[in-house]
Every structure is written in structure tokens, then in C-alpha cells.
Amino acid sequence: MAKSKSANGSPRSVAPARPGGGRVNVHVDLRDGAWVVRVRRSIKSTHETRQQAIDAALELAQRTEVDVAVHSTDGRVQYRLSGSIADKLMFEMWKSIRENPELWEF
């Protein structure tokens, strides 16, 4: 991981760029009371709930093999999800847990 400086001067990790260009992310954030999925400044879809937006963003990211940046209500990136194979498997497991919680109780 490359290091750069944040706005306050502290070091931060930056994901390396992909060959041939920078990493394009799909973002999930709150705009005018609705959760949106966007790529750069282009809004791709609008959703009533954050979870619906995350699901749509993950589907888009997995098709295009890019990362999803999920923002909190204050606009900061809360966490990132990638379009990697491992994350795809984790996403499928997570969906299964969410849809059938009784199967995952210990």
C-alpha cells in the first residue's frame, strides 16, 4: 500500500491504482433523503433504504470488478467492499444469513 497524507497531515493508506488507470469506485451515499448508488458524479440508482443501495452497488461492482465505498449519513466513507472473488463469496454468505437468520443461529 502506498502512503499519502490526509488533510490534517497524518499518514493514510491508499489502495494502489489498477494498471492502465485509477481505481473507479461505486459509492453508496445519502442524497436529499434517499440512498443513491453513484459512479463518480453519475447517479445510477436511488433507493429507500441503505441496504437496498448496498445490494445494488455490490451487484454493479461485481459485474465491473471495482470497489464499493459505503458512506455514513455524515458523508464519510464508513467501509469499503471489493469486487474480488473472496468478497463475492462473503457477500453470498452475508445475503444467506440476512435472508435466513434461523439457519445461522448457534
pLDDT in tens, the chain (106 residues): 444 344 444 444 334 334 434 466 899 999 999 999 999 889 999 999 999 999 999 888 888 778 899 999 999 999 888 766 777 788 788 888 888 888 777 6
CA distance 44 to 58: 12
Residue-range domain boundaries for the chain: 22-104
Query: In this structure, are residues 52 and 38 in contact, taking their beta carbons and an 8 Å threshold?
Result: no
CA distance 38 to 29: 8
SS3 sequence, 48-96?
CCHHHHHHHHHHHHHHHCCEEEEECCCCCEEEEECCCHHHHHHHHHHHH
pTM over cut 0.75:
no
Q: Which residue has the cell 469486487?
A: 83
What pLDDT shows up at residue 65?
77
